Chain A
C-alpha cells in the first residue's frame, strides 16, 4: 500500500485541528438535540437524518459539507421551521422551533427572484410576507443593495441582471428583515468558478458587517474551509455528523488564505472522510 492511498485515521487529529470551540451552554444560536428526520413515502419510510446533536454559536460562520443526498437540505428546512423533525428538538435563540419562525433568511442555489418584481421589491418580499411596515424597511433594503454593490439596479427586473448579481440580490432579500440567522443552501453552486470565489470573499465581508449567524451548505471542501469558523462533515444518507472541525485561520481572510498550510491540511483531512467512505464528492 502506497502512503498516498493509506487512509488517515480521522479520530486522531493533529494538534491544531479539533479545537472544537463550541459554547454549548449558551442559549443563543442554534441548538439541535437528537434531531432526526424520516420521510414517509409510499414505498415505506426513508430515513434522511440520523439523530444530530450540535450547537451553532451566535454570530458563527458554520459550514456543512457532505455527499449528495445526505439530508443537508432537510437540515435547512428543519431549522427554518418548514419541516418538523421526526424526533428531537431544535432551539433557535432559546425558542423551540415548531413552525416557520421568520428569524431566518434563506438563500438557495438559484436566486429565485420573482420575475414580475423589480430588484428592490424582490428584496422587500420578506417584509410583505411578515406584514412589517414597508416605508421603515425601504431604506434598509436600499442600503443592503448598496452593501452588495447593486446600487442603481433597484428598478431593474431580475432577468436584466447577471447570475452573480441576482444571487447578491437574493442575499439582500435574506437579510432585509434583520433575522439572526442566514441559511444558505449551496448559494454559489450555479455560478462560474471566478464569480464564485469573488462571492465567497464578499459573503465573508457581509457576514462580518452584519454579524449574522450563517449556516452554509456546500459540496466544495475548499469553499467550506475558506469560509467557515467551523466545518461539519456529514456522512452519507441517512446523514449523521461525521466530524466537526475548527478552522483556525485568522480573519479577515483573503483568497491567499487558500495557500496557507493549515488550509491545505484541513482540506486534505476533510477530503479523507469521503475517500474512506468510498465516495468521491
Chain B
C-alpha cells in the first residue's frame, strides 16, 4: 500500500468503493424527507420515503416478478445493439462509401422520437416481448455505433502500415491492431447503451404491454398510487446500476491494459 501507517477503521470504511455513493444516497433520502415535512408537500404529489420503502417491503414479490420481463427486454435489446452496432461501425470506419451512404441516415434516424414510433411496433408485433426488445435496441444502438466508429478511426495509420508491411492480411491486421485499439471506445459506448436500453424497454412497456416495471408505473399513475410508482422507479434505477456495473466489470477484464484501468496495476507492482 501507499501509506505505511495503519489506517483506523473509519477511514478504511470510507475508502470502500460502495460507501461514498451510499452515504450520498442516504443524504438525498433525508433531504427528500425533510423537504416534504418542511414545505408540507401533500402525499399525492410526492410520497414520503418511508411510504416508498413500505411499498417496496410489502410488494416486493410482485415488483420482482414484474422486473423480469423488463430486465429480459433490456438485456436482449442491449445485446442486439452490440451485435449490430459494432459490425456497422466497422463497415462505416472501413469504407468511405458505406460511411457516406449510411452514417448521415443513421444520424437522421436518431432525430425520430422513439416514443412516437413505439406504438407502431405494438401494431406490428403485438403486446409481447418483441416491441420492448426493439425499442430497447433502437435506443441502445446509436451510442455503440458512434463510439465504435470513433474507436476504429483513431488508430494510428503508421501502426497499421507497420503491420501491413509485415505482410499481415487485412483480417490479421484488424484483429491485432484495429479491434483492440477500438475496444476502450466501444466499451464507453456500451456503457451508455446499456442504461439507454433500460429506458427503451420501459418506453416499450409504456405504450403497450401487460407486464414489466413500465406497466407497473403506468398502472400506478393511473390510480394515483404514487408510492408504488416511486418504488418502481427505484427498481428501474437499481436495474440500470446493476447492468452498468456488469458491463464495467467485463470492461476491466477485457482491457486491463487501458489508461483508465492502470491504477490497479501500479498498486499491484
Contacts and interface: CB of A to CB of B under 8 A. Distances in A.
A144 to B, nearest CB: 15
B97 interface: no
A164 interface: no
A122 to B, nearest CB: 11
A206 interface: no
Given A115-B257, A115-B258, A129 B166 contact: yes
A112 B258 contact: no
A81 B165 contact: yes
A110 interface: yes
B161 A82 contact: yes
Nearest to A99: B167
B83 interface: no
Contact of B162 (A106, A130, A177): A106
A177 B166 contact: yes
Interface in A37-78: 77
Contacts of A80: 161, 165
B109 interface: no
B128 interface: no
Contacts of B177: 114
Interface residues of B, number: 23
Find the residue from B156, B173, B181, B257 having the highest chain A CB count within 10 A: B257
A80 B162 CA distance: 9
Interface string B245-264: 00000000001011100100
B150 interface: no
A106 B181 CA distance: 20
B102 interface: no
A102 B165 CA distance: 6
Contacts of B262: 159
B165 A108 contact: no
A113 B180 CA distance: 13
B176 A129 contact: yes
B172 to A, nearest CB: 6
Given A110-B158, A112-B158, A129-B173, A157 B166 contact: no
Contacts of A110: 156, 158
Interface in B153-196: 156, 158-159, 161-168, 172-173, 176-177, 180-181
B166 A130 contact: yes
26 contacts: A80-B161, A81-B165, A82-B164, A82-B165, A100-B166, A102-B167, A106-B161, A108-B158, A112-B156, A112-B158, A112-B159, A112-B162, A114-B159, A114-B181, A115-B258, A125-B163, A129-B163, A129-B167, A129-B172, A130-B166, A130-B167, A130-B168, A157-B257, A157-B265, A159-B262, A177-B166
Interface of A: 77, 80-82, 100-102, 104, 106, 108, 110, 112, 114-116, 125-126, 128-130, 157, 159, 177
Q: Which 6 A-B pairs have the closest CB atoms?
A: A129-B168, A129-B166, A102-B167, A126-B166, A116-B257, A80-B165
Given A82-B165, A102-B165, 13 more contacts: A81-B165, A100-B167, A106-B161, A106-B162, A106-B165, A108-B162, A114-B177, A115-B257, A116-B255, A116-B257, A128-B172, A128-B176, A129-B172
